[in-house]
Amino acid sequence: MTSRDRARDALAAITGVDAESPVAEAGTVATTDLVAKLDVQPDGEDRFLGHNFHSPNGRIFGGQVLAQSLAAAAKTVEADRPPHSFHGYFLRPGDPQVPIELAVERLRDGRSFSARRVQAVQHGKPILSMIASFQTAAEGLDHQSPMPEVPRPDEVPSFRERLAEAGHSVRGLGPLLASQPFELRHVQSPLFLGPGPEKTAEQAVWIRPTGPLPPGPLLHAVVLAYVSDYTVLEPTLRAHGLAWATPGMKTASLDHAMWFHRPARFDDWHLFVEESPSASGARGLGLARIYALDGTLVATLGQEGMFRVPE
């Protein structure tokens, strides 16, 4: 397998979308298909069904299950209570050939907050367990960590340009790149082709949808939950001189938490500022702050992943 083939497979696995997904100019169909997949369908009282993308590696992308579970929970909450946080555990790999059954339990509806538990089930067993919390708008204390000074997205090479810089042809990758609902631009070198030039536990990535998203704060929060599973574990790889395509390496997401600080309009570039403060016991922790182009901190997330690296 060539390095370009490994890069193709890594990109498809990380994003959960491969070349058999819909393709269109500027990613319009890809984005439309993403929105449709995340709009879970009623299947009884407080029960919903989620449908899957074609999977490149035989298992469902974790961000899809997170986003669909959050969307299912939100459908049982008043519209004036957007999500402010969720915490989920990945329990089993998802089967892309089977729809996901999403069972919502109404834990509490208070004056300002609502809490929901969601079990994402396939073959009679949970693949994800999540608790999500929702809140009415409120005034109060307000501060944020400033967005770091990094090159703007138009100053950072695209994935196609990175391939060309590395001497790789994009031939054969066109359908895959066109089918992606998001564009990623790593401020440091991406880890699809190989390890970074230096070992560091930090990175920054610009991400935006490749096509327009319909309006609505809930949809944009759900889409942000989907993409939050893209690159948050990469600082662990980068710190140890590894790449996604490292032969024999096995990775899996273990748990995922996300806090929505301010309403997000995910139509344009957002900066994911990511770090890994620790790795031990075959696990690595990734943290990320998500900023809008104007520097507004819209969300923070954390995820722990399993890393099994051959000796």
- What are the tens digits of pLDDT across the range 289-306? 999 999 999 999 999 999
Residue 23: what pLDDT?
40
Among 253, 245, 247, 260, residue whose Cα is nearest residue 292: 260
pTM of the predicted model, to two decimals?
Answer: 0.89
Among 133, 203, 276, 303, which one carries the catalytic annotation? Answer: 303
How far is the C-alpha of 107 from the C-alpha of 126, rounded, in Å?
18
Residue 25 per-residue DSSP state = G
Does residue 15 register a pLDDT over 90? no
Tokens 């669909």 identify what position? Answer: 68
Residue 155 per-residue DSSP state = G
Structural tokens at position 205: 């990535």
Residue 166: what pLDDT?
64
With both helix axes pointing from N to C terminus, report the angle between 217-227 and 28-38 in degrees, rounded to the nearest 10: 100
User: Residue 169 burial (CB < 10 Å; 0-12/13-18/19+)?
Assistant: exposed
- Please report, for residues 80, 135, 148, 286, 296, the alpha-carbon distance to residue 293 in angstroms, rounded to integers and kept in the order given: 26, 25, 12, 22, 7
Domain boundaries, the chain: 3-136+162-308
- Please report, for residues 15, 159, 244, 279, the alpha-carbon distance to residue 282 in angstroms, rounded to integers and kept in the order given: 23, 30, 16, 7
Among 228, 229, 255, 276, which one carries the catalytic annotation? Answer: 229
Among 193, 259, 183, residue whose Cα is nearest residue 221: 259
Average pLDDT over residues 4-21: 51
Average pLDDT over residues 211-228: 94
257 vs 311, residue with greater confidence: 257
Provide the β-strand partners of residue 121.
101, 126
Among 253, 268, 278, 294, which one carries the catalytic annotation? Answer: 253
Average pLDDT over residues 232-261: 94
Residue 204: what pLDDT?
98
Residue 166 per-residue DSSP state = T
- Work out the mean pLDDT of the chain and round it to a whole number: 88
Report pLDDT digits (tens) over 142-198: 999 999 999 999 999 888 787 777 665 545 454 455 568 899 999 998 888 788 889
Average pLDDT over residues 51-63: 86
Q: Report yes or no: 301 and 257 within 8 Å, Cβ to Cβ.
A: yes
Our answer to whether residue 267 is catalytic in this structure is: no
67 vs 23, residue with greater confidence: 67
Residue 186: what pLDDT?
94
Q: Report yes or no: 178 and 27 within 8 Å, Cβ to Cβ.
A: yes
Our answer to whether residue 229 is catalytic in this structure is: yes
Our answer to whether residue 9 is catalytic in this structure is: no
Topology annotation, domain 3-136+162-308: Porin (2.40.160)
Residue 3: what pLDDT?
47
Residue 245: what pLDDT?
83
115 vs 27, residue with greater confidence: 115
